[in-house]
Amino acid sequence: MSSAALPIRGNRRTEIGVVTSDKTSKTRRVEIDRLVAHPKYGKLMRRRTIAIAHDEDQVSHEGDLVEVVETRPISKTKRWRVIRVVRPSKAAVTETTGS
């Protein structure tokens, strides 16, 4: 099912992250990075969330920047769905250009 044909279902949380694994069929591991202030000292710290996302059309690959949206549970760990590829990885761009 393409992302254009997906129904819109109210306000759902969307995040942007990098695909770190595309080894399984129709499943992507997406790392969502964020900065969090330390509760006492205020220093900004890097934190990340790992989201296991469903990619029905298998359009995303490792290194791509993708947008994911929260969805109903698809399997034991999958709670996100890939909406679109925001920016393809540099390796994918060089393969398509052939240089």
Domains and CATH numbers, the chain: 13-97 (2.40.50.140)
End-to-end CA distance of the chain: 32
Residue 99 binned pLDDT confidence (cut-offs 50, 70, 90):
low
d(CA 94, CA 33): 26
Mean pLDDT of the residues in the chain: 90
Look at 52-56, 74-78, 95-99 and tell me which has the smallest mean pLDDT.
Answer: 95-99
pLDDT in tens, 20-53: 999 999 999 999 999 999 999 999 999 999 999 9
Per the model's pLDDT, the better-predicted residue between 2 and 13 turns out to be 13
